[in-house]
Amino acid sequence: MKGLILAGGAGSRLYPLTQVASKQLQPVYDKPMVYYPLTVLIASGIREFCLISTPHDLPRFRQLLSDGSQWGIAIEYREQPKPEGIAQAFLIAADFIGSDPVTLILGDNIFFGGDAFPRAFAEFQSGATIFAYRVHDPERYGVVEFDAEGRAVSLEEKPAQPRSNYAVPGVYLYDNDVVTIVRSLKPSSRGELEITDVNHEYLRRGTLQVQRLSRGTAWLDAGTSSSLHDASAYVQTIEKRQGTKLGCPEEAALYRGFLTLEQFETLVAGMPRCEYQDYLSGVATEVRRVGIQGA
C-alpha cells in the first residue's frame, strides 16, 4: 500500500504563523507537525510515501524529510499549486499510486493510543476503510451516521444539523478504484473535489467499512491557533507522564523493522545533542537490553 500525506493549503486559520512556515511545519511541542501523521503511517507498515504541498513549501519539506532513506522508507514529492479539495491528492499523485491501494492522511491530524490503524492496514483487502471518532462539535467535520446494527448509512460534509456525533478523521484507506472515482467527480459548491463524495461512492457500492475509534484513541486536529496550542500541551503532558515520545519516525521505523538497531544507532549518533537525541539513545539502550517490544 502506498501512503499520501496531504500538507498543502494556505493555512489561513494559523495566520500570521503561516507567513513564516507551512501549517504542517509548525511545532507541536518538540517536533514538526508533519512528524505525527508520518509516524502513524510508518507504524502501520507503510514504506512508500508521497507528500503533497504547495510549490512554495515543498523545498522546506524536502529539507526536513529528505528522501526518507534515513528511516528505511522512500518519500516522493508532488506540488498542489491550488487547494481544490482533499480528493485532489489522488489525481496529483496518480502516477505514484500506480496500480496499488493507497492511504491518505492529512498533515495536521495527530493521533495517539490504541492499535486501530496498524490493525486496519493489516486487514485491508479492498473497497474503502474510514474511521469514526466521537466529538462534541460534529458540524465542523464530515459526519457519519450509523443504523441500529452499527452500519454506516449516511455521510455528510460539515452539516448544519449533524445526524450523529461521529466525525470522520483524516485517515482514509482505498483500493485502486479511488483514482477512477475521483476522476469522475465534479467539484462541489465550494469548488473542491470532496473526500466525502469519494466515500459516498464506496458506500453506494456497498464496499465502505467504517471503524469506530475507541476511547483509548486521541485525535487532535491542529488546524487553528488554539487547537495547535492544545495539541502541544497534550503531547507534552503524555510525554512527561509516560516517558515516551509521540511522533518519532525513527522509533517507529526501528520497531517496524525498517531500520536495524545498528542503523538506528548511527542515525541517532549523527543528531545534535538535544532532548530528542537523548530520548532516542535511551530507546536504543532499552532495545539492546530487552529487544523489540512493539511499536
pTM equals: 0.94
Name the residue with higher pLDDT: 274 or 222: 274
Each residue of 69-82: pLDDT tens digit?
999 999 999 999 99
Cα separation of 117 and 219, whole Å? Answer: 12
- pLDDT band at residue 295 under the 50/70/90 scheme: very low
Amino acid 90: pLDDT: 98
Helix (H, G, I), strand (E, B) or coil at 111: strand
Cα separation of 176 and 1, whole Å? Answer: 10
Each residue of 247-270: pLDDT tens digit?
999 999 999 999 999 999 999 999
Mean pLDDT, the chain, integer:
94
CATH topology of domain 2-259: Spore Coat Polysaccharide Biosynthesis Protein SpsA; Chain A (3.90.550)
Each residue of 162-199: pLDDT tens digit?
999 999 999 999 999 999 999 999 999 888 999 999 99
C-beta contacts of 38-41 below 8 A and 24+ residues apart: 38/5, 38/65, 38/247, 38/249, 39/246, 39/247, 39/248, 39/249, 39/251, 39/252, 40/105, 40/111, 40/117, 40/171, 41/3, 41/5, 41/103, 41/105
Residue 32: strand pairing partners: 27
- Position 6 pLDDT exceeds 50: yes
Cα separation of 11 and 1, whole Å? Answer: 29
Amino acid 20: pLDDT: 80
- Characterize the bridge pairing of strands 171-174 and 102-106: antiparallel
